[in-house]
Chains A and B, each alone.
Chain A
């Protein structure tokens, strides 16, 4: 069985799927990924599927599973490089992958993660705003 390699890129884990996935390797990937997220404390996961030509419902569900799994471990998942044929197949299978972020290519995927992280930091900024609110109110 081929194990899908998981690469570490800063605080992002990059999963590049280069082979036709078997069901066992999908299960193994989910296990490996969960472990790696916990070990590395990664905040983002990018799954590059630009080399995947054939998908079935099992693999389609894998994206959703990985996304929710990462979410539980506080990491954002972006699926990048989906081919048109794959997208059409997933739609025909009725899998719209709600809750899974997608991007056209790796670069855009990483940019989306960065942007997401920036957005997520806004609540923190809000909290600090509250801290300085008192003097602001006093000014009024």
Chain B
């Protein structure tokens, strides 16, 4: 094993500049100009500078402590690539290009096949690590976007003094309900509103689960001392609700947001009257 390490180390150290040049060559061909050559040179140069001492200290085991900085560098690189929208293979190629460069040099030096196998295993491990981080970074990007979307799609609007509304758009799941609930309740506290309207015009389908979520929100608002109305129930939705046997109990439901607003206003003692035209009378 130590022998193997020695050979790989010797191979890497034999002609570092040439190795770097070849690495950058292969990588830039594969990436087809998505990164500039100088960018690649810097990335690969830094990585090689971190890998060489690690290889000397810890051998081929990239999980060891000595590889920490090299691993961090790889992670940083793949995170950056994930954010810039690189495909997985493009990111992996950047690392695997090192293998090709090493093979070329090994070939020129006439190294044994054991060395080739050791090099291959070493670079594969590096590549796998890169890929793992890449996938994680991508997932993170997706999660962040989902959260942003969640924030975007649940605005709480003030309709009148003491009346707030949440126009819900899109499918309701537990996570979204939680956000809606928290935002609505917080707004009730912040604005001192005693009436809340949940408008579900934009909710494509209501099943028992969604209804359960809505009920929870209404009950929570009631616990805080606010009255909650559900509005925007489309005919099809009404049919589904009845067919599923969902009971909204004593929670007021209205067909349109306008009806719900009127109901809330009346409940808070505001009467809406059409002003008579003075010149007509």
Contacts and interface: CB of A to CB of B under 8 A. Distances in A.
Interface of A: 79-80, 82-88, 90-92, 96-97, 101-105, 108-109
A105 B193 CA distance: 10
Contacts of A80: 225
A104 B220 contact: no
Contacts of B216: 91-92
A105 B194 CA distance: 10
Secondary structure at chain B's binding surface: helix, strand, loop or mixed?
helix
20 contacts: A79-B223, A80-B225, A82-B224, A82-B225, A83-B189, A84-B188, A86-B223, A87-B220, A87-B224, A88-B178, A88-B181, A96-B219, A96-B222, A102-B223, A102-B224, A104-B189, A104-B192, A105-B192, A105-B225, A108-B192
Contacts of B221: 87
A103 B194 CA distance: 8
A56 B58 CA distance: 53
* Size class of the contact patch on chain B: 10 to 19
B223 A109 contact: no
A95 to B, nearest CB: 9
B185 interface: yes
A14 to B, nearest CB: 16
B107 interface: no
Interface string B146-186: 00000000000000000000000000000000100110011
Contacts of A108: 192, 194, 225
Contacts of A97: 223
B225 A103 contact: yes
Contacts, number: 59
A53 to B, nearest CB: 13
**Which of B181, B192, B225 has the most CB atoms of chain A within a 10 A radius of its CB?**
B225
Interface of B: 178, 181-182, 185-186, 188-189, 192-194, 216, 219-226
Nearest to A112: B225
A103 B193 CA distance: 10
Contacts of B226: 104
Contacts of A86: 223
Nearest to B178: A88
Contacts of A104: 188-189, 192-194, 224-226
A109 B185 contact: no
Contacts of B186: 84
B225 A102 contact: yes
**Which of B186, B189, B226 has the most CB atoms of chain A within a 10 A radius of its CB?**
B189
Contacts of A84: 181-182, 185-186, 188-189, 220, 224
B183 to A, nearest CB: 9
Give the 6 A-B CB pairs with smallest separation, nearest first: A84-B185, A103-B225, A102-B225, A87-B220, A87-B223, A104-B225
A91 B220 contact: yes
A18 to B, nearest CB: 18
A91 to B, nearest CB: 5
Contacts of A102: 222-225
